[in-house]
Every structure is written in structure tokens, then in C-alpha cells.
Copies of this chain bind each other. A is one copy, B any other.
Amino acid sequence: MKVAVFGMGLIGGSVAKDLRERNFATEIIGVGRSEVTNNKALELGLVDKILPKEEAVKIADLIILTVPVNVLVEELIFVLDNIQNHQVVTDMGSTKESIVEAVKNHKKRSRYVASHPMAGTENSGPTAAIYNLFDNKVCIICDKENSDKDALETVEKMYRCLNMHLKYMNAHQHDIHAAYISHISHISSFVLAATVLEKEKDEEAILEMAGGGFESTVRLAKSSPEMWTPIFMQNKTNILEVLDTYIEKMYSFRNYINKGKSEELNQFMRDANQIKKILK
């Protein structure tokens, strides 16, 4: 199967590596906007060749969009405008509702499968691409009833080749869950990094004390702003809702410390400890 990958960063590059290694793709065509990224992807052997998107959509059986979500809709509409009925397109964006909404009346809508593989690292760009990134992680497929059966099967087969567990929900539910679990985690980590960098001027102390829990908690703050700015903007409503709960709880925590309310503080943490029941 000929596969075209739009965007050759962490996600696109890692998909390309596994799909070739596992013999899913016979040829991988890269489509990128930046010449630097294109050359890097070729040099690293992530893709067999680089083509302009006009040519890539003519020959690819499966087109995978891994570009940031602010340019995803534009690329998706371009692909849908230009593909034939035997071709399939999917995306790997971290928001879903505004994307499916933008193409809901497109005459080729059913050739599109909306999906979100829940995998990644804090690194970005083609050099961040690694083998086995998706193994045993969860992939969410949205609004599958709006995709043709054969298109859905092609995408499911691709994700099974990546060793992912498939879950199904609608795009609206996806965006709520993503905000309440993944997006708020990234925000708390970005704010943690910004706070520590402002307050702690002794860089050596940061390095020395990082073992006390900071290193793992701040990991997500290394993530790409170009990827995350549009995610936060597109999922604004759900994110503001969970963010306000977060701020409210942070105030309670502050208040318990400030007022010396040990029992309330202890109870807050015992409640938070319940996360152990879900994540062993």
C-alpha cells in the first residue's frame, strides 16, 4: 500500500518508521511545508520521497495527516477535494470536534476517518521520530458511522499494525475527555516549568533537586508550542471548564496551608490518592 504522510515530525515520522518496518507500506511519500524538514526526513530515511501534495494525493492509497491542528482542516479539505473513491484519509490530531464539523458536508466526507492515537513524547521534529511509539497505547476513532466501511477498515488495519488498542466515541465526547485528562496535564506542566524558571534562579539547584519529583512532573513542558497552541484554542470551552476547577482546587490547597488546616489538607491529598485505584 502506498502511504502519504503530511507532516514529518514526532508523530508522522514515527508512523512512517513502523509502517515500513512492519511491511504495511510499500512506499512512503512525505509531504511537508518546510524544506528543512523535508530534507531531514529524507536524510533520516523516514520517507522514500518527498512530493508536492498535489502529486501525493494522486498516487497514495492512504493519506495520513499529522500536521498541527490549526492547519489540519485546510489540508483535509484539500485532500478530500482531490481524492478518488478508492482512497482513504485519516488524521492524528489531538482535537476532533472542530475538524469533523468543518468537513461534515463535504461530498467525500465518508473517505475520511477521524482518529487520535494517544501516544507521544515531549520531543518534536523529524529527529524525534522513534520505532514502537504506539505499541500498546490507545487510539480513539471518532464518529465511525460517518466513514465508509472500507475506509474505516483500512485505518483500523493501519492502527492494528501500530499495535494500538482501538476505542470508539463521538468527536464531542473525545474533546471533553481529552481536555479533562490530557490537555489539563500539559497546562499544569507548562505552568510548573514557567513558575520554577521564574522563582528559582539557581540552575544548578534545579538540576540537583530535580530527583525530588520535578523532573517527571515537568516533562510535558518540553512539548512543542506550535503543536499545542492550536489544540488549546480549538478545545477552549472544555479546557476553560477543567482549568477553572483546577484553579479553584489550587486555591483550596493554598488556603489550607495558609490557615494551618492540616486535617483538610490531609483529606485533600487522601482524595487525590484515589487516582491509585485507576492508575496502578
Which residues on the B side are within 8 Å of A23 (C-beta)?
none
Interface positions, chain A 57-109, Cβ under 8 Å from B, are 94
Closest residue of chain B to A70 (Cβ to Cβ) is B262
Measured CA separation A189–B216 after assembly (Å): 10
Query: Can you tell how many copies of this chain the complex includes?
Result: 2
A217 interface residue, CB < 8 Å from B? yes
Measured CA separation A137–B210 after assembly (Å): 9
**Interface readout for A141-166 with B: 1 if CB under 8 Å, 0 if not?**
00000000000000000000000010
A residues bordering B, Cβ < 8 Å? 94, 118-120, 137-138, 140, 165, 167, 177-178, 180-182, 184-200, 202-203, 205-223, 225-226, 228-230, 232-233, 236, 239-247, 249-251, 253-254, 257-258, 260, 262, 265-276, 278-279
Measured CA separation A212–B167 after assembly (Å): 14
Q: Which of B220, B221, B253 is the one whose CB lies under 8 Å from A187?
A: B253
Q: Could you pull out 22 A-B pairs where Cβ atoms are within 8 angstroms?
A: A118-B208, A118-B212, A120-B213, A138-B209, A165-B208, A181-B200, A181-B214, A187-B250, A188-B188, A193-B272, A193-B273, A195-B242, A213-B219, A216-B220, A221-B272, A221-B273, A222-B275, A225-B266, A229-B262, A229-B266, A229-B269, A243-B257
Measured CA separation A190–B229 after assembly (Å): 25
Which residues on the B side are within 8 Å of A262 (C-beta)?
229-230, 233
Secondary structure at chain A's binding surface: helix, strand, loop or mixed? helix
